[in-house]
Homo-oligomer: A and B are copies of this chain.
Amino acid sequence: GTLDAAVRRVDNGSLGSMTSQVSGANSTSKLILRGIEDLGGGLSAGFYLDSTIGADTGAAGGLQFWDRRSTVSLASVKLGELRLGRDWVPTHLVWSAFDPFSTLGVASANTFRSLTASRALGQAFGSAPETQAANPTLRVSNAVEYFLPPGLGGFYGMLIVTQGENGTTAAGFTDGDGFRLGWTGRGVHAAAAQFTTRNASGGQRFRDQAFGVSYEFSGNRVGIAQRRWLFGSDRTVSTQVGALIAVGAGQIKLTYVHADQTGATAALSANDARLLGAGYVYNLSKRTALYVHAARVDNRGAAVFTIPGGPAVSASPSAANYFGGKKSTAFESGIRHDF
């Protein structure tokens, strides 16, 4: 597992600033239990349980205790792996893999994964706090997955089908399917994924797509990736360019993310935003690191994206704390310890 805690300061311009303690800004604080049993003949069985820890408050899990993953698998080196349970959606795995910040902390490429500020997400899943936790852009329950075996010349891939169980995606019961396909070799990593939800709001279809490519050389990495959320006439398309630069025992991280929203009206299509982020991670050992991250979110039109942890903002133009088109700036410094 991991415990990672940091002190964060977020400045929301004229709305003031706030200092808080946050968990998992470099690597998610979590408790993992897992194991593999060798069944002989290239067959193996495995289990994986993973629970988020709120290092700052002691909270565990989200809507469920083993919120990050709970799976049981049967794997063959020749035929691939069959896996059942709750797991990550393939689009998040691609998106996260190319983000130098792994979608964590103030400079996370998931800063635009906001049900209140991304219209495509909000229209598809509503905006209650529960839907923020349950919508299938991060993880999904009731999954049946198939993974290709290793040794396919650098190619990897998987298919996923999830049962809706006559519920709603907002309740965590997503009727969906998707895939992930990638290739690694000669320092290059390229991957694409899609996950389609058939029971989003109004029984409509929500499409989530991600793809990216990166190149590694002498311990450095540069990459570019895109994530597309499509629901009816609404789209939120985020494009991310990032770099990891090895510096002695540490690493410099740089990111730029642009969120392009398109909707039924010109006003909705003007609600774009961009994020600039930089960080430095100093490794005390393989298990322990100190880090500093800084980031700025710059809204266009009436967009209200913020870096979490600042003073409360509103998307309503008549509210005193209306945030449309404003800037959010943040800094955080913390300790990450794997155990």
Contacts and interface: CB of A to CB of B under 8 A. Distances in A.
Interface of A: 1, 3-7, 18-21, 31, 33, 35, 37, 39, 43, 45-47, 49, 51, 53-61, 64-74, 82, 84-86, 141-144, 163, 165-166, 172, 284-285, 287-288, 290, 309, 311-312, 334-337, 339
How many chain copies? 3
Contact of A18 (B31, B70, B166): B166
Contact of A3 (B39, B47, B141, B312): B47
Nearest to A19: B163
A55 B72 contact: yes
Given A59-B64, A64-B59, A65-B60, A3 B288 contact: no
Give the interface SS of chain A, mostly helix, strand, loop or mixed.
strand
Given A20-B165, A285-B45, A57 B141 contact: yes
A172 to B, nearest CB: 6
Contacts of A172: 57
A86 B60 contact: no
B55 A3 contact: no
A137 to B, nearest CB: 17
Given A45-B288, A53-B66, A72-B336, 14 more contacts: A3-B71, A4-B72, A18-B166, A21-B85, A21-B143, A31-B33, A33-B339, A54-B64, A57-B70, A57-B86, A58-B85, A59-B64, A74-B288, A74-B290
Contact of A144 (B21, B74, B290): B21
Given A166-B18, A285-B39, A58 B67 contact: yes
A73 B337 CA distance: 8
A49 B53 contact: yes
Please indicate which of the listed interface residues A21, A166, A335, A337 has the most CB atoms of chain B within 10 Å of its own CB. Answer: A21
5 contacts: A3-B49, A45-B285, A45-B337, A46-B337, A57-B142
A186 to B, nearest CB: 35
B70 A64 contact: no
A71 B3 CA distance: 8
Contacts of A46: 337
Nearest to A172: B57
A42 to B, nearest CB: 13
Contact of A74 (B49, B58, B335): B335
A288 B65 contact: no
A144 B47 CA distance: 35
Contacts of A57: 64, 70, 86, 141-142, 172
A309 B167 CA distance: 12
Given A33-B31, A43-B284, A85 B337 contact: no
A129 to B, nearest CB: 14
Contacts of A31: 33, 49
Given A58-B64, A66-B59, A70-B58, A288 B4 contact: no
Nearest to A45: B288
A60 B56 contact: no
Contacts of A85: 3, 5, 21, 55-56, 58
Contacts of A20: 142, 163, 165
